Chains A and B, each alone.
Chain A
Amino acid sequence: VVMTQSPLFLPVTLGQPASISCRSSQSLVHSDGNTYLNWFQQRPGQSPRRLIYEVSNRDSGVPDRFSGSGSGTDFTLKISRVEAEDVGFYYCMQGSHWPPYTFGQGTKLEI
């Protein structure tokens, strides 16, 4: 499954919203009825951190300014008000079709 993110570079202004799109080459609805679409944040020099799983579930400790939505093949990560600590790369990843799990190319968010 090919995951395609856009944009690949996202310049934003502090306090303004931001949105990243992720499209899959086939539906991510699993045979069990769940949709295993994840979003990860990778800050500079750090390992990835999961923000969102199963399209819209926020991980513990993730600020509520992050939200995920979508279905089928089209998904979106939104940041309601960008903060300085949000700088880094964002990756979508599908876990519905294996092997393997596949990642988007990554979106670089800069202030």
Chain B
Amino acid sequence: EVQLVESGGGLVQPGGSLRLSCEASGFAFSDYYMDWVRQAPGKGMEWVGRITYKLESYSTEYAASVRGRFTISRDDSKNSVYLQMNSLNTEDTAVYYCARDDHGSYSAWGQGALVTVSS
């Protein structure tokens, strides 16, 4: 069974940092791009960023709203992808999902990690 499990969410003050983790199981993790998508309270879905696989040099792309503040990385030996979030502001408050990127679709999503940015 394909599973994605996020961890690391929590409450952080504006200007602070947080690192989310997403551990995958049930599929060949190293063969897939992995994305992060977020959902602000009561709002729709917003793509945050993506990391490719080894064959494509683990290249990354980010939404304009997080570029320069967020960094995605992965460790294929641990079947895990990470989202390092710096300089957080209140607009970053959201549930963050990792998702398996099937080149045009997301066939699997994690359960989500709530990040609350507040003083």
Contact of A53 among B46, B61, B107 (CB under 8 A): B107
B72-113 residues with Cβ-Cβ distance < 8 A to A are 97, 102-107, 109-112
Q: Looking across the interface, which residue of chain A has its beta carbon closest to that of B95? A: A47
Which of B63, B103, B105 gathers most chain A CB within 10 Å?
B105
Most B C-beta atoms less than 10 A away, residue of A101, A104, A106: A101
Inside 8 A of B109's CB, which chain A residues have their CB? 47-49
B62 — nearest CB in chain A belongs to which residue? A99
Q: How close is A62's CB to chain B, nearest CB, in angstroms?
A: 12
Number of residues on chain A facing chain B (CB within 8 A)? 24
Distance in angstroms between the alpha carbons of A102 and B44 in the assembled complex: 10
For the complex, what is the distance from the CA of A104 to the CA of B38, rounded to whole Å?
Answer: 14
A95 to B109 CA separation, bound complex (whole angstroms): 16
Segment of A19-27, A30-38, A63-71, A76-84 engaged in the interface with chain B: A30-38
Query: Interface size bucket, B side?
Result: 10 to 19
| A50–B102 CA distance with the chains assembled, in angstroms | 12
CA distance A38 to B104 in the complex (A): 8
Q: Is A44 an interface residue (CB 8 A)?
A: no
In addition to A47-B110, A93-B45, 15 A-B residue pairs with Cβ atoms within 8 Å of each other are A30-B104, A36-B104, A47-B112, A48-B106, A50-B107, A53-B107, A54-B104, A93-B106, A99-B47, A100-B47, A100-B61, A102-B47, A103-B45, A103-B46, A105-B44
Write 14 A-B pairs (CB below 8 A) sorted by A numbering. Answer: A38-B106, A40-B106, A47-B109, A47-B110, A50-B107, A53-B102, A54-B104, A91-B45, A93-B105, A96-B104, A99-B50, A101-B106, A103-B45, A106-B45
